[in-house]
Structure 1
Amino acid sequence: MRMLIGVMSVALLAGCVSPAMDDARAKPATRVLASAKPTPLVAECIKFSWQDENVFGVDASAYINTEKSGQLTVYTRNAESFADLLPQGTGTAVSYYAKQPDDSSAMRRLAMLATCL
């Protein structure tokens, strides 16, 4: 039962942030990066680093969404920051988006993301 509630919560959260992500994707990414590592490994690393309460306080949230195309998206609550990850050969192409790119939290998330590459 708890698992069902958790799955439903994530599904509802993903539905709420999708329009915000689509709006952000209509503009150029804040930063485009690449990694030689496999996409799932990079996604898990980003998710884990964005959940660090010592860095992000009580707003240390991160989730992973898998698209049918194979794209993975790691995002924060309300999609304040998110990263689209696409398999590229044996590595990963990463597009990072932030609602307020000059915000200190967005810059910290970008720095944490870079450590996963």
Structure 2
Amino acid sequence: MRILMVTLAATLLAGCAGSAMNDARTQTPYKTLTSDKPEKVVAQCVQFAWQDEAVFGVDAGAYLQPGKKGGSTVYTRSAESFVDVTSNAGGTALSYYAKHDDFVAKRRLAALATCL
């Protein structure tokens, strides 16, 4: 039952976050990065890093879903920050988007960078 509730909550969050992410994707990413690691490994690492309560406190939620154009997307509640992780010829490409250019966005970028 608990798994069903978590799945339902994640589905609802994905629906709400979807339009915010689509709007953000029409803009230039906050930061574009690359990695030699496989896409799935990087995406799971970012999700885990963004869930660190010692760093992000109560706002340490991070969700992983299939990407809009392949790959994966890791996002936070209300899509305040998200990263599209896709495979390319040289490894993995990451497009990081942040709603605000503040210390939280920079902290999430730093956590993301540990996964490269």
Q: Which TM-score bucket, shorter chain as reference? A: over 0.9
Given the two structures, how large is their TM-score scaled by the length of structure 2? 0.95
**2:103 match:** 104
TM-score by length of 1: 0.94
* 1:62–1:75 Cα contact (<8 Å) kept: yes
- Aligned-pair Cα RMSD in Å: 1.2
| Secondary structure class of the residue paired with 1:61 | coil
Moved over 4 A (4+): none
Q: Mind listing any 5+ residue stretches in structure 2 that lack a counterpart?
A: none
Distance 1:112 1:65 in 2: 19
Q: CA deviation at 1:70?
A: 2.5
Offset at 1:107? 0.2
Q: Distance in 2 between matches of 1:63 and 1:98?
A: 15
Q: Distance in 2 between matches of 1:67 and 1:26?
A: 15
Structure 1 vs Structure 2: percent identity of aligned residues?
55
Change (3 A) 1:68 1:97: closer
The range that moved more, 82-91 or 13-22, is 82-91
C-alpha distance 28-69 of structure 1, shift in aligned 2 (>3 A)? closer
2:80 corresponds in structure 1 to 80
